[in-house]
Amino acid sequence: MDPLKMVATLVLVMTLFNSCSAFECYVCSNQTGNTEKCLNTIKTCPEGEDACLTEIRWGSQPYFSLGALKQFYVSKRCASKDVCEKTRRKYMPYCTHIWYEDWSCAECCQGDRCNYFVISGAPTQSMSLMAFLGTMVSIFIARYLYNL
């Protein structure tokens, strides 16, 4: 086998292995903003938890109250796709983004470490762009190498 085919085959195998590896999400609980712990703590999700859930709250802790100093509170964790969507729907009526009121939102994403950024109100994505592109490149390489 010539060196080019060996390298291409190795890339193909690594791409397939990477897509089968464990799923990871950023995790944190009630942090004041999407900083430090929420951006540096990564957890390998258990079997069956195939989504990353982010909950964002704007208000005062521990009890939301009118007139108290308000700030963001961010929680991130692994969840099943079903639990994630149920949580997102539960918070939907309270996801107002009105600065002088307390509000709560949830967002779901699927893809390795997809919950790095908090993008409240963004549509959910069923597959990350990198996974899609990796699959397409792998198919192209396989067709080129093996004349499929």
Is a pLDDT exceeding 50 seen at residue 32?
yes
Q: How many percent of the chain have pLDDT more than 90?
A: 51
Q: How many structural domains are present in the chain?
A: 1
Q: Residue 95 belongs to what domain range?
A: 23-124
Residue 100 lies in a domain: yes
pLDDT at 78: 98
pLDDT at 121: 44
Mean pLDDT along residues 39-46: 97
Residue 110 lies in a domain: yes
Q: Which residues, including other chains, have CB under 8 Å from residue 145's CB and lie 6 or more apart?
A: 5, 8, 9, 12
Mean pLDDT along residues 27-52: 95
Residue 12 lies in a domain: no
User: Domain containing 94 — which CATH number?
Assistant: 2.10.60.10
Residue 148 lies in a domain: no
Residue 132 lies in a domain: no
Asked whether 78 and 49 are in contact (CB, 8 A), the reply is: yes
Please report, as a single letter, which amino acid is at residue 96: T
Residue 137 lies in a domain: no
Band (127; pLDDT cuts 50, 70, 90): very low
Band (124; pLDDT cuts 50, 70, 90): very low
Mean pLDDT along residues 41-66: 87
Q: Which residues pair with 44 in a beta bridge?
A: 24
User: Global pTM?
Assistant: 0.65
Residue 144 lies in a domain: no
Closest CA to 13 of 1, 25, 21, 22: 21
Residue 4 lies in a domain: no
